[in-house]
Amino acid sequence: MNFKILRDILIITGLKSMPDLKRQPLMLLLVGLISSLPLFFIVVLGGNIGLGLIGAMVSATSFIGMSAPIQEIAFDRYVKIREMIVAMPVHPLSYAIGVALAPLILSVPSLVFFGALALYVGGLSITSVFPAIAAIIFCWASVSSIGFLISTYLQKASPYTLNSMSNILGILLGFIPPVYYAEEVLGSFSWIAMIFPTSNATSLIRVYSGTLSLPFEIVAIRWTILVATMIASAIITASKARWREP
């Protein structure tokens, strides 16, 4: 990866995030609120708040990770920014990563807030911070790759359809699998947690926090699945996505 590609990633990230951050700071609050909504029920119903906070961290990242590429690319097509950038000396990788990274900036304050709270109540331990960051980054990358994959296959769909779809998928990935609740609840179906990057990341964070006990091989398999999901989606997207139209 040369310097121009890296520089362009940062420029596109700035281009796609700074104007919104400056003029729509409420978006930061919105991301946090959506992710913290289940916490209300967890607190009221007497659930595990530590687990809920980990879920909120994962959800804040995955929700934005799924919606970012779909919404942004659909919108970029609508306002023709994508056309302008295709005709510029910009590598497609810079555009894709920049578009995915930009909304992540929006979820950073929520992540820090939920993370600090989780450390305080015991959901996270000091030693689990780095594995947690790694799991969240891989989760974000996997979910973003899935988002790119979807947008690649639905190039003819309207921005409105893609917008709705990204929100639905974001909610499904964030709230249906065991993200806010323990995978043990699923009993013999707890393996389902491995399938979804969101619940997989949550369980891995719990392993390092000491609230979930899994054999080393299973932990290794779960990391592999998390990374493999990202790589597979990225490869399919790269092979199917067309920077220049045929």
Partner 1 sequence: MVEEAVKSADLVKTYRGKENVEALKGINISIKKGELFTLLGPNGAGKTTFLRIISTQLFPTSGRAHVLGYDVVTQPNEVRKRIAVVPQDVATYANFTPWEYSYYFTMLRGVSKPDAKTAAEGALKAVELWDLRDRTCATLSGGEKKRAIIAAALASNVDVFMLDEPTSGLDAVARRNVWAVLREMVEQGKTILLTTHIMEEAEMVSDRLAIVHKGNVVAEGTPEEIKRLAKDRFRVVIEGNLKSLGLSENNDNITKFGSKSIVYVKDENEAIELVGKSLKKGLKAETAPVTLEDVFVKLVGGEVD
Q: Which member of 1, 25, 41, 83 binds partner 1 (CB under 8 A)?
A: 83
Is residue 15 involved in binding partner 1 (CB under 8 A)?
A: yes
Is residue 97 involved in binding partner 1 (CB under 8 A)?
A: no
Q: Cα–chain-centroid distance for residue 239? A: 22
Angle at 99 between CA 19 and CA 101, to 5 degrees: 85
- Torsion angles phi and psi, residue 40, rounded to 5: -60, -45
Q: Which of 67, 36, 70 is nearest to 53 (CA)?
A: 36
Q: Which member of 30, 79, 168, 228 binds partner 1 (CB under 8 A)?
A: 79
Cα–Cα distance measured from residue 115 to residue 131, given in angstroms and rounded to the nearest whole number = 13
| Segment lying near partner 1 (by CB under 8 A), choices 2-10, 37-45, 60-68, 233-241 | 2-10
Please answer whether residues 192 and 186 qualify as being in contact, where contact means their C-beta atoms are separated by less than 8 angstroms: yes
Site map (CB under 8 A) of partner 1, residues 26-65, x = contact: ----------------------------------------
Coil/strand/helix, residue 237: helix
Is residue 182 involved in binding partner 1 (CB under 8 A)?
A: no
Cα–Cα distance measured from residue 111 to residue 126, given in angstroms and rounded to the nearest whole number = 15
| Shortest Cβ 236–partner 1 spacing (Å) | 21
Q: 6-34 as b/e, with b when 16 or more CB fall inside 10 Å?
A: eebbeebbeebbeeeeeeeeebbeebbeb
Is residue 19 involved in binding partner 1 (CB under 8 A)?
A: yes
Q: Which member of 26, 217, 239, 244 binds partner 1 (CB under 8 A)?
A: 244
Segment 217-236, which members bind partner 1 (CB under 8 A)? none
Nearer to partner 1, 85 or 207 (CB): 85
Binding site for partner 1 (CB under 8 A): 4, 7-8, 11-12, 14-15, 18-20, 22-24, 78-81, 83-90, 244-246
